[in-house]
Amino acid sequence: MVGEGSSRRRLRRLAPLGAALLMWCLGSASVNAATGWWQSAPGPPRILSAVASNSTYTTLAISGGVAGWLDSRSGNFALASSTSKVAFVAAKGDSGLILESTGELYTISSTGATQRLQRLPGRPLGLAISAGANPVAAALTNRGVYRGELGSRLRLVASAFPLQTPLTLAGPVTSSEPFALATAHGVFLLGSRGPLRRVQNSPRLGAHAHIAELGNGTILVGDDRGLISAYYRGRWTPIFQLLPYGGLGGVPQLDGIVGVGLDAAYVATSGFGTLLTPDGGYSWYRASPPSISGTILALATLGPIYGTRPVGLVLAVSPSRVFLHRLEALPTPPIYSGATETAQLWGTALVTALAAALVICLMWLIRRRHRRRLFV
């Protein structure tokens, strides 16, 4: 009896250890599933306020009101010459555009040398360069929208009148109308040629509006109300509503939207970090860099990201540093076939059978030793 008692006591001592092991297994497996999504950008921590999407791994960014080329692979930031108080940047391969808050527009080469193009009237609101072999640039101010070939002067396409209150401009998008404008009177599309076209039934947008187009043509728009709507095949649908932060906090501000691949998109917020929709807005997931404040100021994509199997980077700018997510590193579910699938299946069945057998044997041993019956 003494031996039985001590054995039971030993087992009792082991029970908390087993429970702790179980909790550790569950906890570590959960944590592992969430790590490795974002990495800090190489180089010293850099504070950026804006960054432009580009088809290469080097792009234009703004740091301390000054524009420069940011190399996402090395972390180098080469300042552009003779620019200050930069409001917007746009990049296309090795060249780009810089729009200062005064309305001064510059072209910039890969060496960082700038050349003044013109002064745009009004308060700058956006700048973009289209994709394709013959890139077209567009700029938006509160006086109107301007368009022209990259490297040449931009011409007024539409004054502020049809736009009412222009808010933001996005590009590049893949369709024949490479620019999308969010305004208080709805969404407008602008082609490389021709006039602005208002998208029918588009939602009226408030402050801090952001707009992006996905590879399949879906347009996502959102504003400070936290409502994100999608446009696909001639129909607008409200797809996602950001909720209040909690307590007395309001709805977190929407800081940016970027499309990744055919129907995935990242949304940046001040409060909820980044959110990801992998299916055009149907389902949403947390996909935040490890930012303490949960604030992501800007998002950009680098490299080829519009293919069916996107390769490239998503770049997230937090108030203290820059994070990178490599699209090629996205975890994909393994595809088992043939012998591998059979081995996996039988292995799992074996684990199940062995675990059951072991548990039954141990319980039998315990019952046999103690001859105690819990139930009749």
Partner 1 sequence: MAVEPVSRRWLRRPSSPTVGRGSGRLEFLLILAGAAVVLLLPRVFGDPQGFDPDSWRLTAYFAVVTGAALAVRSLRAVAPLAFAFLTLAFPFSVWLWLLGYVGPAPSLIGAPNGLARNAFAGIVEMVLALVMAGCFHYLTPKPRPNLRLWVRPTLLMVVVGVGGTLLFLAIGFALPAPLLGREGVPLYALGGSAAVALGVANATSAIAQEIQFRGVLMSALERQQSPLAAVITQGVVFGLAHIAIQYEGPATSFIPIVIALGWLWGWMTVRTRSLLPAMLVHIVADFFVLAVVVSGLYGG
Q: Which of residues 253-282 bind partner 1 (CB under 8 A)?
A: 263, 269, 271-273, 275, 279-282
Tokens representing residue 317 in the block: 């700018």
Using CB under 8 A, which of the segments 100-108, 131-139, 200-208, 353-361 binds partner 1? 353-361
Q: Does 244 contact partner 1 by CB under 8 A?
A: yes
Tokens representing residue 374 in the block: 């819990």
- CA angle (213 as vertex; 147, 35 as ends), nearest 5: 130
Q: Does 246 contact partner 1 by CB under 8 A?
A: yes
- Asked if residues 129 and 97 have their Cβ atoms less than 8 Å apart, the reply is yes
Total residues contacting partner 1 (rule CB under 8 A)?
80
Q: Identify residues 16-55 at the interface with partner 1 (CB under 8 A).
A: 18-19, 22, 25-27, 29-34
Q: Does 359 contact partner 1 by CB under 8 A?
A: yes
Q: Identify residues 206-235 at the interface with partner 1 (CB under 8 A).
A: 216, 218, 226, 230, 232-233
What is the Cα–Cα distance from 35 to 24, expressed in whole angstroms?
A: 16
- Asked if residues 182 and 219 have their Cβ atoms less than 8 Å apart, the reply is no
Minimum Å gap between C-beta 120 and partner 1 is 36
Q: Quick one: DSSP state of residue 51?
A: E
- For partner 1, the binding residue among 4, 9, 15, 101 (CB under 8 A) is 15
Q: Does 5 contact partner 1 by CB under 8 A?
A: no
Q: Does 155 contact partner 1 by CB under 8 A?
A: no
CB neighbours (10 Å) of residue 18?
A: 10
- Residue 340 falls in which region: left (phi positive, over 0), alpha (psi -120 to 50) or beta: alpha
Cis peptide before 278 (omega within 30 of 0): no
Q: Identify residues 277-336 at the interface with partner 1 (CB under 8 A).
A: 279-286, 294, 333-336
Minimum Å gap between C-beta 119 and partner 1 is 41
- CA angle (358 as vertex; 356, 361 as ends), nearest 5: 105
Q: Identify residues 172-191 at the interface with partner 1 (CB under 8 A).
A: none
